[in-house]
Structure 1
Amino acid sequence: MVDEIGPVMDISDTKEEIPMTMGSNEYEMIELFRRINVSRPIALTLACLSKGREISSQSIEIISGLRQPEVSVAMRYLRENNWIDIREEKKSKGKGRPVKLYKLTVPMDCIVSKIEEKIIAESRIVIGNIERLKSIS
């Protein structure tokens, strides 16, 4: 199946699911997130979600090399910030739990801006503490 943004994964049989791969932009994104102290699981998960497509946590694990608990921690952080949408889809074959599909609900530039705001606020606190130390020395 293909939509306006490219191929859509068929999740009816997860063994045959062919996940997207990361390109140079995603690897650079991960490196830059890491340089600004975004945790590795969150950086990798954001890179996987950055294309704007729905993706399963299992696909994120395969693409990123993260373990399931690491993806869960990253997803919790993204949910707390209201950056992702979660949709469950029942498997068409066999039994088992529905597959959870994740998708960013806000553009990546908004996410980067929120991270920037947090870093600036933290830096202001540090600078304030330094100024206070200078004044009492």
Structure 2
Amino acid sequence: MKTPELNILDGKGYEIVELLQGLNVPRTESICIACLVCGEELTSQDIEKTSGLRQPEVSIAMRPLRDRKWIEERNEKKNSDKGRPLKYYKLIVPFEEIVKTFESKALKKNLEMVDALEQLKGLSNNG
């Protein structure tokens, strides 16, 4: 029997994924961020089911989020005591703060590009 799909990602979630990818955030990381924004506390299995990502992809995508201290991760033993414990993930910073992080990164990159263009203009005028 097939497990029913979870509907964590709605229109807003898919839009978050698209916009983050447009900012060069890796696809799997974008999907995990969107899932956590649209859901509350989710297991890695919840994220897998709603997104189509595989378990290793979810784990790898969560690493930079954990390193940035954006998420809380906790393990909980399954009732059967067999297999690995369930991993639960939850955003612990407001989504607005995450957006501001990407905004400042993009603005810094744009300033670097403008500076490089100005230097190129200067070189073309002197040439």
TM-score by length of 2: 0.86
Q: 1:20 to 1:90 in 2, by over 3 A?
A: farther
Partner residue of 1:71 out of 58, 64, 88: 58
Partner residue of 1:98 out of 85, 97, 100: 85
Q: Percent identity?
A: 45
Partner residue of 1:131 out of 110, 118, 121: 118
In structure 2, list runs of 5 or more residues that go unmatched: none
Count residues in correspondence: 123
**Displacement of 1:24 after TM fit?**
1.1
Partner of 2:25: 38
In structure 2, what is the Cα distance between the partners aligned to 1:95 and 1:18? 24
Partner of 1:83: 70
In structure 2, what is the Cα distance between the partners aligned to 1:117 and 1:94? 45
1:51 equivalent to 2:38? Answer yes
- Larger helix proportion of the pair: 2
In structure 2, what is the Cα distance between the partners aligned to 1:23 and 1:88? 27
Native 8 Å contact 2:36 2:91 kept in 1: yes
Partner of 1:6: none
TM-score by length of 1: 0.80
- Kindly report structure 1 stretches of 4+ aligned residues shifted beyond 6 Å: 15-18
In structure 1, list runs of 5 or more residues that go unmatched: 1-14
In structure 1, what is the Cα distance between the partners aligned to 2:41 and 2:5? 13
User: 1:86-131: per-residue Cα shift (whole Å, max 9, x none)?
Assistant: 0111111241221110000101111011011111111111111111
In structure 1, what is the Cα distance between the partners aligned to 2:40 and 2:7? 10
Native 8 Å contact 1:52 1:104 kept in 2: no
**Farther off after superposition, 51-60 or 100-109:** 51-60
Aligned-residue Cα RMSD (Å) equals 2.0
Partner of 1:9: none
Partner of 2:47: 60
